Amino acid sequence: MRLGQRFYLIEVVQGVLLTSGHFFRNMGKHLAHALGRKDARGAVTIQYPEERRPYSPRLRSLHRLVRREDGSPRCVACMMCETVCPAHCIYIVATEHPNPEIEKMPERFDIDLGKCVFCGYCVEACPEDAIRMDTGILEFSSYSRRGMIYTKEMLLSLEPVGPDGRPASPVPIPANRTV
Amino acid sequence: MTALADFGIVFGRVFFVIMFVLNLGGLLGWVERKQSAIMQDRIGANRAAIPIPFLGRLTLLGLFHPIADAIKLLTKEDFRPTHADRFLFSLAPFVSVFFALVAFASIPFGDTLRVAGREIPLQAVTLNVGVLYVFGMLSLGVYGVMMAGWSSANNFALLGGQRAAALMISSEIAIGASIMGVIMVYGSLNMQDIVRGQGDLLFGWLPAWGIVTQPLAFVLFLTAGIAATKRAPFDTPEGESEIIGYFVEYSGMKAGMFMMSDFLETVVIAGMTTALFLGGWQVPYLMADGFHFPGGASWTLPHLLVVLLQVGSFVVKVLAMIFVLMLIRWTLPRFRYDQAMRLGWLGLFPLSILNIVLTGAVLLLIGRPS
Protein backbone atom coordinates (compact mmCIF):
# COMPACT_ATOMS: atom_id res chain seq x y z
CA MET A 1 0.00 0.00 0.00
CA ARG A 2 1.15 3.49 -0.76
CA LEU A 3 1.58 5.86 2.15
CA GLY A 4 -1.46 7.84 1.04
CA GLN A 5 -3.62 4.74 1.07
CA ARG A 6 -2.21 3.73 4.44
CA PHE A 7 -3.19 7.11 5.85
CA TYR A 8 -6.73 6.37 4.57
CA LEU A 9 -8.08 9.89 4.98
CA ILE A 10 -7.27 10.87 1.37
CA GLU A 11 -9.00 7.73 0.15
CA VAL A 12 -12.02 8.55 2.28
CA VAL A 13 -12.19 12.05 0.80
CA GLN A 14 -11.93 10.63 -2.72
CA GLY A 15 -14.72 8.16 -2.00
CA VAL A 16 -16.94 10.85 -0.50
CA LEU A 17 -16.28 13.09 -3.51
CA LEU A 18 -17.36 10.28 -5.85
CA THR A 19 -20.58 9.52 -3.99
CA SER A 20 -21.45 13.17 -3.40
CA GLY A 21 -20.81 13.78 -7.11
CA HIS A 22 -23.40 11.14 -7.89
CA PHE A 23 -25.74 12.69 -5.33
CA PHE A 24 -25.58 16.23 -6.70
CA ARG A 25 -25.70 15.14 -10.36
CA ASN A 26 -28.77 12.98 -9.73
CA MET A 27 -30.35 15.65 -7.54
CA GLY A 28 -29.93 18.18 -10.36
CA LYS A 29 -31.58 15.79 -12.81
CA HIS A 30 -34.44 15.13 -10.37
CA LEU A 31 -34.94 18.87 -9.97
CA ALA A 32 -34.86 19.43 -13.74
CA HIS A 33 -37.42 16.64 -14.11
CA ALA A 34 -39.66 18.22 -11.49
CA LEU A 35 -39.34 21.59 -13.21
CA GLY A 36 -40.54 20.23 -16.55
CA ARG A 37 -37.53 18.71 -18.30
CA LYS A 38 -39.15 15.28 -18.71
CA ASP A 39 -36.10 13.77 -20.45
CA ALA A 40 -33.91 14.30 -17.37
CA ARG A 41 -33.78 11.14 -15.30
CA GLY A 42 -31.93 11.06 -12.01
CA ALA A 43 -32.29 7.34 -11.48
CA VAL A 44 -32.10 4.20 -13.56
CA THR A 45 -35.03 2.68 -11.70
CA ILE A 46 -37.94 1.21 -13.65
CA GLN A 47 -41.03 1.32 -11.40
CA TYR A 48 -41.89 -2.28 -12.08
CA PRO A 49 -45.61 -2.95 -11.90
CA GLU A 50 -46.46 0.37 -13.58
CA GLU A 51 -43.46 0.63 -15.91
CA ARG A 52 -41.92 -2.31 -17.70
CA ARG A 53 -38.93 -2.57 -19.91
CA PRO A 54 -39.82 -3.98 -23.35
CA TYR A 55 -39.44 -7.74 -23.49
CA SER A 56 -37.24 -9.39 -26.08
CA PRO A 57 -39.20 -11.01 -28.94
CA ARG A 58 -37.34 -14.22 -28.14
CA LEU A 59 -38.63 -14.23 -24.56
CA ARG A 60 -40.09 -17.56 -23.50
CA SER A 61 -43.20 -16.64 -21.54
CA LEU A 62 -46.42 -18.49 -20.66
CA HIS A 63 -47.36 -21.19 -23.21
CA ARG A 64 -50.38 -21.01 -25.46
CA LEU A 65 -52.03 -23.54 -27.76
CA VAL A 66 -52.51 -22.31 -31.33
CA ARG A 67 -56.09 -22.59 -32.67
CA ARG A 68 -57.32 -23.71 -36.09
CA GLU A 69 -59.81 -21.69 -38.13
CA ASP A 70 -62.71 -23.38 -36.35
CA GLY A 71 -61.26 -22.79 -32.92
CA SER A 72 -60.15 -26.34 -32.23
CA PRO A 73 -56.54 -26.84 -31.21
CA ARG A 74 -53.94 -27.26 -33.92
CA CYS A 75 -52.34 -29.90 -31.72
CA VAL A 76 -52.62 -33.46 -33.02
CA ALA A 77 -51.68 -35.10 -29.70
CA CYS A 78 -48.52 -36.65 -31.13
CA MET A 79 -46.94 -36.58 -27.65
CA MET A 80 -43.70 -35.10 -28.99
CA CYS A 81 -43.72 -32.26 -26.47
CA GLU A 82 -44.64 -34.55 -23.61
CA THR A 83 -41.77 -36.84 -24.57
CA VAL A 84 -39.16 -34.11 -24.95
CA CYS A 85 -40.16 -32.22 -21.82
CA PRO A 86 -37.24 -32.51 -19.37
CA ALA A 87 -39.46 -31.55 -16.43
CA HIS A 88 -42.28 -33.97 -17.32
CA CYS A 89 -44.79 -31.20 -16.84
CA ILE A 90 -47.05 -31.80 -19.89
CA TYR A 91 -49.93 -34.29 -19.66
CA ILE A 92 -51.85 -35.14 -22.86
CA VAL A 93 -54.90 -37.39 -23.29
CA ALA A 94 -55.64 -37.94 -26.99
CA THR A 95 -59.04 -38.32 -28.61
CA GLU A 96 -60.51 -38.61 -32.13
CA HIS A 97 -60.93 -35.43 -34.12
CA PRO A 98 -64.36 -35.09 -35.77
CA ASN A 99 -62.63 -34.20 -39.04
CA PRO A 100 -61.43 -37.50 -40.61
CA GLU A 101 -58.51 -35.71 -42.29
CA ILE A 102 -57.08 -34.92 -38.87
CA GLU A 103 -56.19 -38.02 -37.01
CA LYS A 104 -56.21 -36.95 -33.38
CA MET A 105 -56.67 -34.01 -31.07
CA PRO A 106 -55.96 -33.60 -27.35
CA GLU A 107 -58.86 -34.20 -25.05
CA ARG A 108 -56.79 -32.93 -22.18
CA PHE A 109 -53.63 -30.84 -22.46
CA ASP A 110 -52.40 -29.84 -19.01
CA ILE A 111 -49.16 -28.03 -18.27
CA ASP A 112 -47.99 -28.04 -14.66
CA LEU A 113 -46.28 -24.64 -14.55
CA GLY A 114 -45.02 -25.41 -11.08
CA LYS A 115 -42.70 -27.94 -12.71
CA CYS A 116 -42.04 -26.22 -16.04
CA VAL A 117 -38.48 -24.96 -16.49
CA PHE A 118 -39.31 -22.79 -19.53
CA CYS A 119 -36.68 -24.45 -21.70
CA GLY A 120 -38.83 -24.13 -24.84
CA TYR A 121 -38.14 -27.69 -26.02
CA CYS A 122 -41.88 -28.34 -26.45
CA VAL A 123 -42.08 -25.43 -28.91
CA GLU A 124 -39.13 -26.74 -30.88
CA ALA A 125 -40.33 -30.36 -30.84
CA CYS A 126 -43.84 -29.60 -32.07
CA PRO A 127 -44.28 -30.71 -35.72
CA GLU A 128 -47.54 -28.75 -36.11
CA ASP A 129 -46.39 -25.43 -34.57
CA ALA A 130 -49.27 -25.92 -32.14
CA ILE A 131 -47.61 -24.77 -28.94
CA ARG A 132 -45.85 -21.45 -28.61
CA MET A 133 -44.41 -19.45 -25.73
CA ASP A 134 -45.13 -15.96 -27.04
CA THR A 135 -47.90 -14.64 -24.77
CA GLY A 136 -45.62 -12.21 -22.96
CA ILE A 137 -47.28 -13.21 -19.67
CA LEU A 138 -44.79 -13.65 -16.88
CA GLU A 139 -46.80 -13.06 -13.74
CA PHE A 140 -48.78 -16.16 -12.99
CA SER A 141 -48.77 -17.39 -9.47
CA SER A 142 -50.96 -19.38 -7.15
CA TYR A 143 -51.40 -20.17 -3.50
CA SER A 144 -51.47 -23.92 -4.21
CA ARG A 145 -49.70 -26.40 -6.48
CA ARG A 146 -52.97 -27.40 -8.08
CA GLY A 147 -53.48 -23.81 -9.07
CA MET A 148 -50.34 -23.94 -11.19
CA ILE A 149 -51.84 -26.58 -13.50
CA TYR A 150 -53.10 -24.84 -16.64
CA THR A 151 -55.63 -26.77 -18.73
CA LYS A 152 -56.25 -26.96 -22.50
CA GLU A 153 -59.08 -24.41 -22.40
CA MET A 154 -56.99 -21.86 -20.58
CA LEU A 155 -54.02 -22.33 -22.88
CA LEU A 156 -56.27 -22.10 -25.96
CA SER A 157 -57.74 -18.80 -24.82
CA LEU A 158 -54.40 -16.95 -24.87
CA GLU A 159 -53.32 -14.51 -27.56
CA PRO A 160 -49.77 -13.77 -28.73
CA VAL A 161 -48.02 -10.70 -27.33
CA GLY A 162 -49.17 -7.39 -28.79
CA PRO A 163 -47.01 -5.20 -31.06
CA ASP A 164 -46.24 -2.92 -28.09
CA GLY A 165 -44.69 -5.81 -26.19
CA ARG A 166 -47.58 -6.01 -23.73
CA PRO A 167 -49.52 -9.22 -23.16
CA ALA A 168 -52.69 -9.19 -25.28
CA SER A 169 -54.69 -11.44 -22.97
CA PRO A 170 -55.11 -11.35 -19.20
CA VAL A 171 -53.47 -13.88 -16.94
CA PRO A 172 -55.77 -16.91 -16.98
CA ILE A 173 -56.77 -17.86 -13.48
CA PRO A 174 -57.36 -21.58 -12.96
CA ALA A 175 -60.85 -22.46 -11.85
CA ASN A 176 -59.59 -24.54 -8.97
CA ARG A 177 -57.14 -21.94 -7.69
CA THR A 178 -57.71 -21.43 -3.98
CA VAL A 179 -58.10 -17.70 -3.32
CA MET B 1 -47.34 35.58 37.19
CA THR B 2 -43.55 35.81 36.80
CA ALA B 3 -43.16 32.29 38.11
CA LEU B 4 -45.60 31.10 35.47
CA ALA B 5 -43.76 33.04 32.77
CA ASP B 6 -40.45 31.62 33.93
CA PHE B 7 -41.88 28.13 33.82
CA GLY B 8 -43.28 28.82 30.37
CA ILE B 9 -39.91 30.01 29.10
CA VAL B 10 -38.07 26.97 30.46
CA PHE B 11 -40.76 24.70 29.06
CA GLY B 12 -40.52 26.41 25.68
CA ARG B 13 -36.75 26.01 25.54
CA VAL B 14 -36.90 22.32 26.42
CA PHE B 15 -39.87 21.77 24.11
CA PHE B 16 -38.04 23.36 21.16
CA VAL B 17 -34.94 21.21 21.66
CA ILE B 18 -36.79 17.95 22.23
CA MET B 19 -39.09 18.51 19.26
CA PHE B 20 -36.11 19.45 17.09
CA VAL B 21 -34.16 16.34 18.05
CA LEU B 22 -37.10 13.90 18.03
CA ASN B 23 -38.53 15.04 14.72
CA LEU B 24 -35.12 15.20 13.11
CA GLY B 25 -34.37 11.72 14.42
CA GLY B 26 -37.63 10.40 13.03
CA LEU B 27 -37.07 12.13 9.74
CA LEU B 28 -33.55 10.73 9.42
CA GLY B 29 -35.01 7.36 8.46
CA TRP B 30 -36.47 9.03 5.41
CA VAL B 31 -33.32 11.09 4.79
CA GLU B 32 -31.18 7.99 4.96
CA ARG B 33 -33.34 6.09 2.47
CA LYS B 34 -33.68 8.94 0.01
CA GLN B 35 -30.10 10.19 0.21
CA SER B 36 -28.61 6.74 -0.18
CA ALA B 37 -30.95 6.10 -3.09
CA ILE B 38 -29.96 9.28 -4.90
CA MET B 39 -26.29 8.57 -4.24
CA GLN B 40 -26.73 5.13 -5.80
CA ASP B 41 -28.76 6.24 -8.85
CA ARG B 42 -31.96 4.84 -7.37
CA ILE B 43 -35.29 6.45 -6.45
CA GLY B 44 -35.75 5.19 -2.93
CA ALA B 45 -38.82 4.62 -0.83
CA ASN B 46 -41.85 6.11 -2.62
CA ARG B 47 -44.63 3.56 -2.17
CA ALA B 48 -46.31 4.64 1.07
CA ALA B 49 -49.15 6.87 -0.06
CA ILE B 50 -52.45 8.28 1.02
CA PRO B 51 -55.04 7.61 -1.68
CA ILE B 52 -57.04 10.71 -2.56
CA PRO B 53 -60.32 10.01 -4.38
CA PHE B 54 -60.30 11.06 -8.06
CA LEU B 55 -56.85 12.64 -7.78
CA GLY B 56 -54.53 9.70 -7.33
CA ARG B 57 -52.04 8.93 -4.63
CA LEU B 58 -50.33 11.45 -2.40
CA THR B 59 -46.78 10.19 -1.88
CA LEU B 60 -44.98 13.43 -0.90
CA LEU B 61 -41.58 12.05 -1.96
CA GLY B 62 -42.03 9.04 0.31
CA LEU B 63 -42.42 11.16 3.44
CA PHE B 64 -45.16 8.84 4.72
CA HIS B 65 -42.68 6.00 5.09
CA PRO B 66 -41.52 7.00 8.59
CA ILE B 67 -45.17 7.06 9.70
CA ALA B 68 -45.84 3.71 8.03
CA ASP B 69 -42.73 2.30 9.71
CA ALA B 70 -43.84 3.55 13.11
CA ILE B 71 -47.33 2.08 12.70
CA LYS B 72 -45.88 -1.21 11.58
CA LEU B 73 -43.38 -1.39 14.44
CA LEU B 74 -46.00 -0.48 17.02
CA THR B 75 -48.43 -3.17 15.86
CA LYS B 76 -45.85 -5.95 15.67
CA GLU B 77 -45.50 -8.72 18.20
CA ASP B 78 -43.36 -7.73 21.16
CA PHE B 79 -41.35 -10.91 21.52
CA ARG B 80 -39.18 -11.75 24.51
CA PRO B 81 -36.97 -14.85 24.57
CA THR B 82 -37.76 -17.34 27.34
CA HIS B 83 -34.41 -17.09 29.09
CA ALA B 84 -33.98 -13.36 28.69
CA ASP B 85 -33.80 -11.20 31.79
CA ARG B 86 -37.28 -9.71 31.86
CA PHE B 87 -36.49 -6.39 33.48
CA LEU B 88 -33.21 -5.53 31.78
CA PHE B 89 -34.43 -6.76 28.39
CA SER B 90 -37.34 -4.31 28.50
CA LEU B 91 -35.30 -1.50 30.06
CA ALA B 92 -32.40 -1.54 27.57
CA PRO B 93 -34.05 0.21 24.58
CA PHE B 94 -35.43 2.94 26.86
CA VAL B 95 -31.98 3.59 28.35
CA SER B 96 -30.53 3.76 24.86
CA VAL B 97 -33.09 6.25 23.59
CA PHE B 98 -33.22 8.32 26.79
CA PHE B 99 -29.53 9.18 26.92
CA ALA B 100 -29.43 9.90 23.20
CA LEU B 101 -32.38 12.29 23.68
CA VAL B 102 -31.12 14.20 26.70
CA ALA B 103 -27.60 14.61 25.32
CA PHE B 104 -28.70 17.50 23.11
CA ALA B 105 -29.88 19.55 26.10
CA SER B 106 -26.81 21.68 26.68
CA ILE B 107 -26.03 22.42 23.03
CA PRO B 108 -26.90 26.11 22.45
CA PHE B 109 -29.04 26.86 19.42
CA GLY B 110 -28.85 30.65 19.69
CA ASP B 111 -27.45 33.58 21.64
CA THR B 112 -29.35 35.22 24.49
CA LEU B 113 -32.79 36.41 23.43
CA ARG B 114 -33.93 39.67 25.05
CA VAL B 115 -37.70 39.99 25.08
CA ALA B 116 -39.72 42.27 27.41
CA GLY B 117 -36.86 42.87 29.80
CA ARG B 118 -36.03 39.19 30.12
CA GLU B 119 -32.85 37.46 29.04
CA ILE B 120 -33.62 34.02 27.67
CA PRO B 121 -30.61 31.81 26.93
CA LEU B 122 -31.41 29.81 23.80
CA GLN B 123 -30.31 26.49 25.20
CA ALA B 124 -32.43 23.83 26.88
CA VAL B 125 -30.22 23.72 29.97
CA THR B 126 -27.52 26.25 30.84
CA LEU B 127 -24.71 24.17 32.29
CA ASN B 128 -21.21 25.31 33.15
CA VAL B 129 -19.88 21.87 32.22
CA GLY B 130 -21.99 21.50 29.09
CA VAL B 131 -19.28 19.77 27.09
CA LEU B 132 -18.77 17.15 29.77
CA TYR B 133 -22.54 16.69 30.08
CA VAL B 134 -23.06 15.93 26.38
CA PHE B 135 -20.01 13.73 26.39
CA GLY B 136 -21.20 11.86 29.47
CA MET B 137 -24.74 11.32 28.22
CA LEU B 138 -23.38 10.05 24.91
CA SER B 139 -21.24 7.45 26.65
CA LEU B 140 -24.05 6.47 29.03
CA GLY B 141 -26.07 5.53 25.94
CA VAL B 142 -23.88 2.48 25.47
CA TYR B 143 -25.23 1.07 28.73
CA GLY B 144 -28.51 0.37 26.96
CA VAL B 145 -26.65 -1.47 24.25
CA MET B 146 -24.65 -3.50 26.74
CA MET B 147 -27.79 -4.32 28.73
CA ALA B 148 -29.48 -5.46 25.55
CA GLY B 149 -26.52 -7.66 24.69
CA TRP B 150 -26.32 -9.20 28.16
CA SER B 151 -30.01 -9.69 28.88
CA SER B 152 -31.00 -11.24 25.54
CA ALA B 153 -29.61 -14.69 26.44
CA ASN B 154 -28.12 -14.89 22.99
CA ASN B 155 -24.44 -15.27 22.20
CA PHE B 156 -24.61 -13.07 19.12
CA ALA B 157 -26.27 -10.32 21.11
CA LEU B 158 -23.61 -10.72 23.79
CA LEU B 159 -20.87 -10.39 21.17
CA GLY B 160 -22.59 -7.29 19.82
CA GLY B 161 -22.87 -5.74 23.26
CA GLN B 162 -19.23 -6.51 24.00
CA ARG B 163 -18.16 -5.00 20.68
CA ALA B 164 -20.25 -1.92 21.35
CA ALA B 165 -18.60 -1.49 24.73
CA ALA B 166 -15.11 -1.89 23.29
CA LEU B 167 -15.85 0.49 20.43
CA MET B 168 -17.36 3.01 22.80
CA ILE B 169 -14.28 3.01 25.06
CA SER B 170 -11.88 3.40 22.16
CA SER B 171 -13.90 6.18 20.53
CA GLU B 172 -14.89 8.04 23.71
CA ILE B 173 -11.25 8.49 24.70
CA ALA B 174 -10.50 9.99 21.29
CA ILE B 175 -13.58 12.23 21.53
CA GLY B 176 -12.62 13.45 24.98
CA ALA B 177 -9.00 14.03 24.06
CA SER B 178 -9.84 15.85 20.83
CA ILE B 179 -12.34 18.10 22.62
CA MET B 180 -9.54 19.02 25.03
CA GLY B 181 -7.89 21.09 22.30
CA VAL B 182 -11.10 23.07 21.74
CA ILE B 183 -11.52 23.63 25.48
CA MET B 184 -7.93 24.88 25.70
CA VAL B 185 -8.40 27.34 22.83
CA TYR B 186 -11.70 28.82 24.04
CA GLY B 187 -10.93 28.42 27.73
CA SER B 188 -14.31 27.15 28.87
CA LEU B 189 -16.35 24.01 29.40
CA ASN B 190 -19.56 25.95 28.86
CA MET B 191 -20.90 25.27 25.38
CA GLN B 192 -22.37 28.76 25.12
CA ASP B 193 -18.99 30.34 25.96
CA ILE B 194 -17.22 28.13 23.42
CA VAL B 195 -19.70 29.18 20.71
CA ARG B 196 -19.35 32.86 21.71
CA GLY B 197 -15.57 32.52 21.49
CA GLN B 198 -15.94 31.31 17.92
CA GLY B 199 -17.46 34.67 16.95
CA ASP B 200 -14.04 36.33 17.12
CA LEU B 201 -12.13 37.09 13.97
CA LEU B 202 -8.61 35.86 13.31
CA PHE B 203 -6.33 38.28 11.40
CA GLY B 204 -9.32 40.58 11.23
CA TRP B 205 -11.26 38.56 8.66
CA LEU B 206 -11.23 34.82 9.40
CA PRO B 207 -13.98 33.62 11.81
CA ALA B 208 -12.28 31.77 14.65
CA TRP B 209 -14.42 28.68 14.26
CA GLY B 210 -13.18 25.47 15.78
CA ILE B 211 -12.51 24.00 12.36
CA VAL B 212 -10.04 26.85 11.73
CA THR B 213 -8.30 26.83 15.09
CA GLN B 214 -8.44 23.06 15.59
CA PRO B 215 -8.46 21.34 12.16
CA LEU B 216 -6.85 18.13 13.43
CA ALA B 217 -9.25 17.91 16.35
CA PHE B 218 -12.14 18.36 13.90
CA VAL B 219 -11.11 15.32 11.86
CA LEU B 220 -10.45 13.26 14.98
CA PHE B 221 -13.72 14.30 16.61
CA LEU B 222 -15.72 13.56 13.47
CA THR B 223 -14.16 10.10 13.10
CA ALA B 224 -14.63 9.22 16.76
CA GLY B 225 -18.10 10.76 16.69
CA ILE B 226 -19.16 8.50 13.82
CA ALA B 227 -17.79 5.59 15.85
CA ALA B 228 -19.86 6.76 18.82
CA THR B 229 -23.05 6.61 16.77
CA LYS B 230 -22.39 2.91 16.01
CA ARG B 231 -23.25 3.46 12.34
CA ALA B 232 -21.27 2.43 9.28
CA PRO B 233 -18.29 2.42 8.83
CA PHE B 234 -18.11 1.69 12.57
CA ASP B 235 -21.15 -0.58 12.85
CA THR B 236 -19.22 -3.54 14.22
CA PRO B 237 -21.67 -3.90 17.16
CA GLU B 238 -24.36 -4.45 14.57
CA GLY B 239 -22.32 -6.19 11.88
CA GLU B 240 -25.39 -7.59 10.18
CA SER B 241 -23.41 -9.97 7.99
CA GLU B 242 -21.36 -11.47 10.85
CA ILE B 243 -23.38 -11.20 14.05
CA ILE B 244 -26.76 -9.62 13.75
CA GLY B 245 -25.91 -7.41 16.65
CA TYR B 246 -26.94 -6.55 20.17
CA PHE B 247 -30.61 -6.15 19.13
CA VAL B 248 -30.88 -9.57 17.50
CA GLU B 249 -33.62 -10.71 19.92
CA TYR B 250 -35.62 -7.49 19.78
CA SER B 251 -38.77 -7.03 17.76
CA GLY B 252 -41.43 -4.41 17.24
CA MET B 253 -40.99 -0.95 18.67
CA LYS B 254 -38.11 -2.00 20.92
CA ALA B 255 -35.99 -2.76 17.86
CA GLY B 256 -37.30 0.50 16.43
CA MET B 257 -36.10 2.34 19.52
CA PHE B 258 -32.57 1.03 19.02
CA MET B 259 -32.68 2.20 15.40
CA MET B 260 -34.10 5.51 16.60
CA SER B 261 -31.34 5.94 19.16
CA ASP B 262 -28.73 5.56 16.40
CA PHE B 263 -30.41 8.37 14.48
CA LEU B 264 -30.69 10.51 17.61
CA GLU B 265 -27.00 10.00 18.30
CA THR B 266 -26.30 11.13 14.73
CA VAL B 267 -28.24 14.32 15.45
CA VAL B 268 -26.33 14.81 18.71
CA ILE B 269 -22.97 14.32 17.03
CA ALA B 270 -23.98 16.72 14.27
CA GLY B 271 -25.10 19.25 16.88
CA MET B 272 -21.93 18.85 18.90
CA THR B 273 -19.71 19.17 15.81
CA THR B 274 -21.63 22.29 14.88
CA ALA B 275 -21.30 23.82 18.34
CA LEU B 276 -17.64 22.98 18.85
CA PHE B 277 -16.16 23.27 15.36
CA LEU B 278 -18.55 25.04 12.99
CA GLY B 279 -19.26 28.11 15.10
CA GLY B 280 -22.59 26.92 16.52
CA TRP B 281 -25.17 29.62 15.93
CA GLN B 282 -22.55 32.11 14.68
CA VAL B 283 -23.09 33.69 11.29
CA PRO B 284 -19.82 35.08 9.88
CA TYR B 285 -19.45 38.81 10.69
CA LEU B 286 -22.84 38.92 12.44
CA MET B 287 -22.45 40.64 15.81
CA ALA B 288 -25.17 41.26 18.38
CA ASP B 289 -26.32 44.45 16.62
CA GLY B 290 -25.93 43.45 12.98
CA PHE B 291 -23.29 42.68 10.36
CA HIS B 292 -19.81 44.19 10.66
CA PHE B 293 -17.83 43.26 7.57
CA PRO B 294 -14.01 43.31 7.69
CA GLY B 295 -13.85 46.13 5.11
CA GLY B 296 -15.50 48.46 7.59
CA ALA B 297 -18.99 48.25 6.15
CA SER B 298 -21.74 47.45 8.61
CA TRP B 299 -25.44 46.70 8.46
CA THR B 300 -27.50 47.20 11.58
CA LEU B 301 -30.25 44.66 12.19
CA PRO B 302 -32.97 44.48 14.87
CA HIS B 303 -32.30 42.12 17.76
CA LEU B 304 -35.07 39.66 16.89
CA LEU B 305 -33.83 39.28 13.32
CA VAL B 306 -30.29 38.66 14.54
CA VAL B 307 -31.51 35.91 16.88
CA LEU B 308 -33.59 34.39 14.09
CA LEU B 309 -30.57 34.40 11.78
CA GLN B 310 -28.50 32.74 14.47
CA VAL B 311 -31.02 29.97 15.14
CA GLY B 312 -31.43 29.47 11.41
CA SER B 313 -27.69 29.28 10.97
CA PHE B 314 -27.47 26.63 13.70
CA VAL B 315 -30.24 24.53 12.11
CA VAL B 316 -28.68 24.79 8.66
CA LYS B 317 -25.28 23.79 10.01
CA VAL B 318 -26.74 20.78 11.85
CA LEU B 319 -28.58 19.67 8.71
CA ALA B 320 -25.43 20.06 6.60
CA MET B 321 -23.48 18.07 9.18
CA ILE B 322 -26.11 15.31 9.10
CA PHE B 323 -25.80 15.27 5.32
CA VAL B 324 -22.03 14.79 5.63
CA LEU B 325 -22.46 12.03 8.23
CA MET B 326 -24.96 10.24 5.97
CA LEU B 327 -22.62 10.69 3.01
CA ILE B 328 -19.81 9.01 4.92
CA ARG B 329 -22.14 6.29 6.19
CA TRP B 330 -23.19 5.40 2.63
CA THR B 331 -19.70 5.69 1.13
CA LEU B 332 -17.43 3.61 3.34
CA PRO B 333 -17.67 -0.11 4.00
CA ARG B 334 -17.57 -1.44 7.53
CA PHE B 335 -14.25 -1.66 9.37
CA ARG B 336 -13.42 -5.08 10.65
CA TYR B 337 -13.59 -5.24 14.45
CA ASP B 338 -9.80 -5.30 14.89
CA GLN B 339 -9.37 -2.50 12.34
CA ALA B 340 -11.82 -0.31 14.23
CA MET B 341 -9.97 -1.04 17.48
CA ARG B 342 -6.59 -0.31 15.90
CA LEU B 343 -7.89 2.94 14.41
CA GLY B 344 -9.26 4.02 17.78
CA TRP B 345 -6.28 3.12 19.97
CA LEU B 346 -3.33 3.50 17.61
CA GLY B 347 -4.66 6.21 15.31
CA LEU B 348 -7.14 8.58 16.92
CA PHE B 349 -5.91 8.43 20.52
CA PRO B 350 -2.20 9.25 19.94
CA LEU B 351 -3.13 11.91 17.37
CA SER B 352 -5.50 13.60 19.79
CA ILE B 353 -2.77 13.59 22.49
CA LEU B 354 -0.46 15.14 19.87
CA ASN B 355 -3.16 17.71 19.18
CA ILE B 356 -3.32 18.65 22.86
CA VAL B 357 0.48 19.04 22.99
CA LEU B 358 0.56 21.14 19.81
CA THR B 359 -2.34 23.30 20.97
CA GLY B 360 -0.65 23.86 24.31
CA ALA B 361 2.61 24.81 22.62
CA VAL B 362 0.93 27.23 20.23
CA LEU B 363 -1.13 28.81 23.01
CA LEU B 364 2.04 29.24 25.06
CA LEU B 365 3.81 30.93 22.16
CA ILE B 366 1.14 33.24 20.73
CA GLY B 367 -1.55 33.25 23.38
CA ARG B 368 -5.27 32.85 23.06
CA PRO B 369 -7.10 34.37 20.07
CA SER B 370 -9.17 37.16 21.49
> Distance between CA B90 and CA B181 in Å, rounded?
39
Nearest CB to B41 within list A20, A43, A47: A43
- The one-character DSSP state at B51 is E
Q: Which fold has domain A64-156?
A: Alpha-Beta Plaits (3.30.70)
Helices B155-186 and B252-277 pack at an angle, to 10 degrees, of 20
B176: Cβ contacts below 8 Å, ≥ 6 apart: B135
Confirm or reject contact between B219 and chain A (CB < 8 A). Answer: yes
Select the residue from B220, B222, B331 to test the A interface by mutation, using most A Cβ atoms within 10 A.
B331
CA of A17, closest CA in chain B: separation in Å? 9
Q: Is B72 a domain residue?
A: no
Query: What is the pTM assigned to this prediction?
Result: 0.84
Is B42 within 8 Å of A18 when comparing Cβ atoms?
Answer: no
Percent of chain B topping pLDDT 70: 99
**Cα distances (Å, whole numbers) of residue A27 to A21, A23, B97, B262, B316:** 10, 6, 33, 26, 19
Mean pLDDT across the stretch A92-116? 90
* DSSP state string for B4-50: HHHHHHHHHHHHHHHHHHHHHHHHHHHHHHHHHHHHTT--------E
Range of the domain at B260: 83-366
CA of A34, closest CA in chain B: separation in Å? 12
Q: Is B52 a domain residue?
A: no
Q: Is B29 a domain residue?
A: no
Long-range Cβ contacts of B293-296 (<8 Å, 24+ apart): B294/B201, B294/B204, B294/B205
Number of structural domains (chain B) is 1
Interface of A with B (CB under 8 A): 9, 12, 15-16, 18-20, 22-23, 26-27, 30, 42-45, 47
Nearest CB to B39 within list A12, A19, A45: A19
Q: Is B78 a domain residue?
A: no
Q: Is B23 a domain residue?
A: no
Q: Is B62 a domain residue?
A: no
Q: Is B294 a domain residue?
A: yes
Residues B17-65: tens digit of each pLDDT: 888 888 898 889 899 999 999 999 998 888 888 888 887 788 888 888 8
Among B287, B280, B106, which Cα is nearest to B186's? B280
Cis peptide before B51 (omega within 30 of 0): no
Confirm or reject contact between B37 and chain A (CB < 8 A). Answer: yes
Is A45 within 8 Å of B42 when comparing Cβ atoms?
Answer: yes
Q: Is B245 a domain residue?
A: yes
Is B327 within 8 Å of A22 when comparing Cβ atoms?
Answer: no
Report domain extents, chain A: 3-34, 64-156
Q: Tell how far CA A60 is from the center of its chain.
A: 6
Q: What ipTM was reported for this prediction?
A: 0.84
> Distance between CA A161 and CA A141 in Å, rounded?
19
Residue type, A53: R
CA of B42, closest CA in chain A: separation in Å? 5
Nearest CB to A26 within list B41, B330, B331: B41
> Distance between CA B68 and CA B59 in Å, rounded?
12
Nearest CB to A19 within list B42, B43, B330: B330
Mean pLDDT across the stretch B236-244? 83
- The one-character DSSP state at A96 is E
Nearest CB to B328 within list A16, A27, A47: A16
Residues B209-221: tens digit of each pLDDT: 888 888 999 999 9
Q: Which residues of B touch A42 (CB under 8 A)?
A: 38, 41
Q: Which residues of A touch B35 (CB under 8 A)?
A: 23
Q: Which one has a higher pLDDT value, B317 or B242?
A: B317
Residues B169-180: tens digit of each pLDDT: 888 888 989 999
B15: Cβ contacts below 8 Å, ≥ 6 apart: none
**For the purposes of burial, counting CB atoms within 10 Å of the CB of B147, is it exposed (0-12), middle (13-18) or buried (19 or more)?**
buried
Residues A118-166: tens digit of each pLDDT: 999 999 999 999 999 988 888 888 888 888 889 998 899 998 988 877 8
